Amino acid sequence: MRKILRVGLIGTGFMGKAHALSYQAAGNVFDDIPRPVLHAVADIDGARAELFRHQFGFTRALTDWQQLIEDPEIDVVSITTPTLFHKEMALAAIAAGKHVHCEKPLAISATDAQEMTLAAEQAGVRTASGFNYLKNPLLKYAREMIAAGELGEITDFNGIHAEGFMADPQTPWSWRCDPAGGQGAIADVGSHIIAIARFLLGPVTQVFAQLDTPIKSRPVKPGSSEHKPVGVDDIARMIVGFERGCSGTLQANWLATGRNMQLGFQVSGSKGTLVFNQERMNELQYFKAGEDTRSNGFRVIESGPQHAPYGAFCVAGGHHLGFNDLKTIEMAEFIRAIDQGVAASPDFREAWEVQRLIDAAVMSHKDRTWLSL
């Protein structure tokens, strides 16, 4: 019989649901990993916790996350709360000997992320952070193409993560607007494009950044005339230098009217260019230099069974993966790392590196200067 891993989930919002779904799916889609079992869910809202218990088949529903972590039957803790609570919860889970999956951004600062990373490594527990877009088989294929030299010498990288969920000035103030919980768009959505840039091209060594907050205040609740100041950035723009020698730009924006998920990049080299946009996540555009000029242009590489692990979900091309499938791949790889006793990717250490760049960009903006990492 397959081994099992009992999971404790903290938080029942959008990402809490994504975690519950992906743990269930991972155990069904991939037969080479221990089967994750949803054991306990915790939320300060008891009714929400009980709903999740019934909806997903958790054994227990709790209102106290500390009780969840203290449960000796739990092997893995998933943290899907606002960033402000990540450090306390993760350190408690690590101290209890649990493996920990924590959503991004990992912490409100690189200092906190470092503390969490070192604690986990010293305790010998496995960690993961929620950069699920890295699990797209086409991004893995793009990295293979770059590493194999198919684009030649890389000359430029342009990356963006733009969404419009905060574009309406009447959208109420929330925890995302509170600087006590870390940075704004640069951390919330920007961490994803930073992670992708590092995934494809390696470490970033220099940054020059500009952060803007066009919407200075927001209603305290829907329809209220009372406003509360926004203490974080809405838009962040960065010029970055990579350790490999090329440079590029990164942008994070949650005021991008009309955009649902413009998480994309263009990476150019002496022999070709790759273009990707999460809004068409099953397509990778490829231009190869030197081809017949009469038909020269970008061609579309469509995801299919030839791009592992697509085939674990569907045997036919053109049927496409979705957001929750990427999350399922993420959870399966995390569980596999636990089972094999190896580091997951990305783990807390990688999430710490992402946070280091976020912190450096904020400091660069304040000092109006280039910063080295």
Q: Are residues 189 and 221 in the same domain?
A: yes
* Whole-number pLDDT of residue 332: 98
Q: Are residues 143 and 115 in the same domain?
A: no
pTM of structure: 0.97
* Whole-number pLDDT of residue 229: 98
Q: Are residues 207 and 115 in the same domain?
A: no
* Whole-number pLDDT of residue 290: 84
Q: Could you count the other beta carbons within 10 Å of the beta carbon of residue 14?
A: 9
* Whole-number pLDDT of residue 292: 64
Q: Are residues 156 and 108 in the same domain?
A: no
Domain extent at residue 300: 133-344+351-367
Q: Are residues 177 and 115 in the same domain?
A: no
When divided into structural domains, the chain yields a total of 2
* Whole-number pLDDT of residue 116: 98
* Whole-number pLDDT of residue 312: 97
Q: Is 210 within a domain?
A: yes
What Å distances lie between residue 216 and 219, 226, 229, 256, 268, CA to CA?
Answer: 11, 13, 6, 16, 37
C-alpha 143/C-alpha 137 separation (Å) is 10
* Whole-number pLDDT of residue 293: 64
Last residue of a domain, one of 109, 131, 153: 131
Q: Is 372 within a domain?
A: no
Last residue of a domain, one of 103, 131, 159: 131
Q: Is 373 within a domain?
A: no
Q: Is 355 within a domain?
A: yes
Q: Are residues 290 and 323 in the same domain?
A: yes
Q: Are residues 117 and 207 in the same domain?
A: no
Q: Which residue has the tokens 């906190």?
A: 112
Q: Are residues 66 and 137 in the same domain?
A: no
Q: What is the CATH number of the domain that holds 152?
A: 3.30.360.10
* Whole-number pLDDT of residue 296: 75
Q: Is 263 within a domain?
A: yes
Alpha helices in the chain (DSSP H): 14-29, 46-56, 65-70, 86-95, 110-123, 137-147, 185-188, 190-201, 310-313, 323-340, 348-367
Q: Are residues 168 and 300 in the same domain?
A: yes
Transcribe 198-213 into DSSP letters. HHHH--EEEEEEEEE-
* Whole-number pLDDT of residue 67: 98
* Whole-number pLDDT of residue 282: 98
C-alpha 358/C-alpha 352 separation (Å) is 10
Contacts of residue 57, Cβ cutoff 8 Å, sequence gap at least 6: 38
pLDDT by 10s per residue, the chain, length 373: 789 999 999 999 999 999 999 999 999 999 999 999 999 999 999 999 999 999 999 999 999 999 999 999 999 999 999 999 999 999 999 999 999 999 999 999 999 999 999 999 999 999 999 999 999 999 999 999 999 999 999 999 999 999 999 999 999 999 999 999 999 999 999 999 999 999 999 999 999 999 999 999 999 999 999 999 999 999 999 999 999 999 999 999 999 999 999 999 999 999 999 999 999 999 999 999 987 666 678 999 999 999 999 999 999 999 999 999 999 999 999 999 999 999 999 999 999 999 999 999 999 999 999 999 9
Q: Is 162 within a domain?
A: yes
* Position 180, amino acid: A
